């Protein structure tokens, strides 16, 4: 399966369970691998035949910036659903990182997979 990816898409949002987290924005980072057959685009060299990763990124930025989830699990789930429902993607792997959330680590977060990998 071919994969189109977006790596380290950094977005500001309200995220967290503590009172102080509800009053500020924090940076989250998204890494996406999206299952998409690139053969038509490879043959035509036409953007109309491929997955527009800029459109995916812009949609996720708009969603995440306006969201106010408490848990990274919930935010990751909703981001995955948007990509699968709104773009011609059959499968995705999404890593959502929250940098600086735990002292001593560079980031914490979740990795989820959704869709059909065949």
Q: pTM of this prediction?
A: 0.94
Please report, for the domain that includes residue 31, its CATH number.
3.30.1130.10
Write out the catalytic residue numbers.
98
Cα gap 61→45, rounded to integer Å = 27
Cα gap 83→20, rounded to integer Å = 30
pLDDT at residue 114 in the model: 97
pLDDT at residue 98 in the model: 96
pLDDT at residue 118 in the model: 65
pLDDT at residue 1 in the model: 86
The total number of structural domains in the chain stands at 1
> What stretches in the chain show pLDDT beneath 70?
118
What are the backbone dihedrals phi and psi of residue 90, each rounded to the nearest 5 degrees, phi first?
Answer: -95, -25
Task: List the domain range (segments joined by +) for residue 59.
Answer: 3-115
């Amino acid at each position: 399966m071919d994969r189109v990816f977006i790596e380290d898409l950094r977005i500001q949002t309200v995220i967290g369970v503590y009172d102080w987290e509800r009053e500020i924005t924090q940076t989250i980072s998204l890494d996406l691998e999206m299952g998409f057959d690139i053969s038509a685009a490879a043959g035509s060299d036409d953007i109309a035949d491929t997955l527009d990763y800029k459109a995916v990124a812009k949609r996720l930025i708009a969603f995440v910036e306006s969201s106010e989830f408490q848990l990274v699990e919930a935010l990751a789930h909703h981001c995955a659903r948007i990509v699968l429902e709104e773009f011609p993607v059959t499968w995705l792997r999404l890593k959502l990182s929250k940098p600086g959330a735990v002292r001593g680590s560079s980031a914490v977060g979740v990795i989820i997979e959704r869709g059909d990998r065949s």
